[in-house]
Amino acid sequence: MSFVEIMLLIGVAGIFVAGLMVGSWTSGDRNRANYQTIPAEERPMRNAIARWSTFVAIVAFALAAVGYYLF
C-alpha cells in the first residue's frame, strides 16, 4: 500500500468513527431514542471522540492530497 492509500483509509475510518459517535448513521427516530437513553455524562465524551476523529480524518486527507501531488 502506498502512503496516499494509507492516509485515505485513515481518513475514511476517522469519518466513520465520528459518524458513529455523533449518531449520524441513524434515522431521526432512532437518533431521538438514542439521545434519551445515553446518560448526560457520556455525551461530552462522545462529542470529544467525534471531534478528534474528525480532526485526524481531515489531517489524513490533507496528507493524502499532498502525497498525491508530490509523489
Judge whether residue 4 has pLDDT over 90. yes
pLDDT in tens, 35-44: 889 899 999 9
CA distances from 59 to 35, 44, 62, 65 (A): 29, 23, 5, 10
User: Can you read off the three cell numbers belonging to residue 60?
Assistant: 489524513
Contacts of 17 (CB under 8 A, 6+ apart): 49, 50, 53
pLDDT of residue 34: 87
Rounded to 5°, angle at Cα 26 from 20 and 32: 105
List the chain domain ranges: 3-70
C-alpha to C-alpha distance for 56 and 71, rounded to whole angstroms: 22
